[in-house]
Amino acid sequence: MNPIRRAASISLCGILLFSFGASAQTRATVAGSIDQRASKYSEIAQTIWELAEVGYLEQESSALLQTTLSNAGFQIEAGVAGIPTAFVATAGSGGPVISILAEYDALPGITQDRVPHREPMVELGAGHACGHHLFGTGSAAAAIAVKEWLEQSGTPGTIRVYGTPAEEGGAGKVYMVRAGLFDDVDVVIHWHPGDRNSAGVRGTLANKSAKFRFRGISAHAAAAPWRARSALDAVESMNYMVNMMREHVPQETRIHYVITSGGAAPNVTPDFAEVWYYVRHPEPSQVLDLFERVVDASEGAALGTGTEVDHEIIHGVYAMLPNETLARVMHRNLSEVGGVTYSPADRQFAEAIRTTFTGSVPSIESAAQVQEFEINLAATGGSTDVADVSWVVPTVGLSAATWVPGTAAHSWQAVAAGGTEIGNKGMLVAAKTMALTVVDLFSNQELIAEAQQEHVRRIGPDFVYTPLVGDRDPPLDYRKPAGQR
């Protein structure tokens, strides 16, 4: 039986195991608060799944989370950092101040119904292929449970939820960090949907992106091509040069692009074309150097094709700064909560969707397991704007099995599972783990002090946070097509 559900009879061994934080009875009460509202939280998450709003355009998703928190007694500050869909929800008073991050943006161009075979929902235009509908709702659920415990126990302290838009390429948190919204926070907690349950220490890649816009001269592609200067030729020339550059960059580098505008008809030479680039590396300084080489390629392409080019920086994020002190606390709580238990219907769905996977995949049973604690600072290939938060405040996160084991992020299979009870159950695992971790930190503030000391050691004495986006305003229209900005 899950120890959260048998707290009344928890053994002395269990009490000693968690003597670093809250009592067994407190833990049962906090987790029970989330269980009691499980159906409500599932409904909220699935509503956001259906909305599938993309970065900086998450009006209804953000409003729903704000209403949920406001109804639970949180004070809401909306539109922070110059971002209409960003918010801060606060409850309690005094110190310490612990915050939980919430995300809720969807990904464009990847849609899927709640079925284990490919069935796009093209009318949506976007889908929660990274599970942020669960992310935001699970974070709200954890914060509400902590707020209730603070009030019932009379424990001093402040719990905040930071509603952070546009994690997918828009770097919403970077602008919130830059605005000083985390300056008085002692610890930050977050989570992310995934195909397994883990709270180890892992690295990420720093990342900088920009949209490169070429302008040329249009003409009839057959009758007068000599009069034209093709913006699409410039994009293709730039891409060719960057692809040649790949042989001559550090091996940890990742560079990707997508042509976001390439013309409307073959017989009209495009006088405008746009390509969006991501440049990644574990070290922010290397990202900046590599990015300038990509800029040079764009200028060379413009020169060679007789076009003009400019670029707009869209986002830039650091690599995650780990905090082992906090990660070990979170791992203990995740181990207590346990993984996701499939019903017969869940298992039937999982077995069906696994037939669409390629290569070797974990067993279905791994969804119910918690991965062993591991410290792996090698970059995983992904990036997140949580990383910028981690450089200014001690930060810790976990992954919960909201997807069928073996599911890749940003896939239709992730959208599908996230729209089912499998996703809802993983969200509740994360919510309980985060809530218990926050309660432990409030109950034993020596843990906060240790985490802060580790943070100072890791950033070093001379570190000054400088955002990779520079001083630009949040790119509120970055998800709009080129012709609608």
Same-domain pairing of 31 and 60:
yes
Residues 299 and 445 both lie in one domain: no
213 and 355 inside one domain = no
User: pTM for this structure?
Assistant: 0.92
Query: Quick one: pLDDT band at residue 22, thresholds 50, 70, 90?
Result: confident
Q: What is the mean pLDDT of the chain?
A: 93
Specify the CATH number for the domain of residue 278. Answer: 3.30.70.360
- Could you tell me if 308 and 176 lie in one domain? no
Asked if the structure places residue 478 within a domain, the reply is no
Same domain membership, residue 169 and residue 273: no
- Supply the CATH number for residue 387's domain: 3.40.630.10
DSSP conformation letters of 392-426: TS-EEEEEEE-S-TTPPTTSHHHHHHHTSHHHHHH
Same domain, 48 and 186: yes
Provide CB contacts within 8 A for 407, sequence distance 6+.
Answer: 195, 353, 357, 413, 414, 417
In a domain, 476, yes or no: no
Say yes or no: 302 and 345 in one domain. Answer: no
Per-residue pLDDT of 218-252, as tens digits, reads: 999 999 999 999 999 999 999 999 999 999 999 99
Both 27 and 46 in one domain: the answer is yes
CA separation for the pair 430, 110 (Å, rounded): 25
Task: Tell whether 481 is covered by a domain.
Answer: no
Lowest mean pLDDT among 249-258, 352-361, 379-388: 379-388
User: Is the pLDDT at 287 greater than 50, yes or no?
Assistant: yes
**Domain stop point among 260, 288, 318:** 318
Residues 22 and 168 in one domain: yes
User: How many domains does the structure of the chain reveal?
Assistant: 2
Q: How does pLDDT run across 389-407, given as a tens digit for each residue? A: 999 999 999 999 999 999 9
- What range does the domain containing 309 cover? 206-318
Q: Are residues 69 and 168 in the same domain?
A: yes
Residues 116 and 184 in one domain: yes
Q: Quick one: 188 and 237 in the same domain? A: no
CA quadruple 3, 6, 10, 16: dihedral sign: positive
Model pLDDT for residues 171-225, shown as the tens digit of each residue: 999 999 999 999 999 999 999 999 999 999 988 999 999 999 999 999 999 999 9
- Which residues have C-beta within 8 Å of that of residue 468, sequence separation ≥ 6? 174, 206, 208, 284, 287, 288, 315, 316, 317, 318
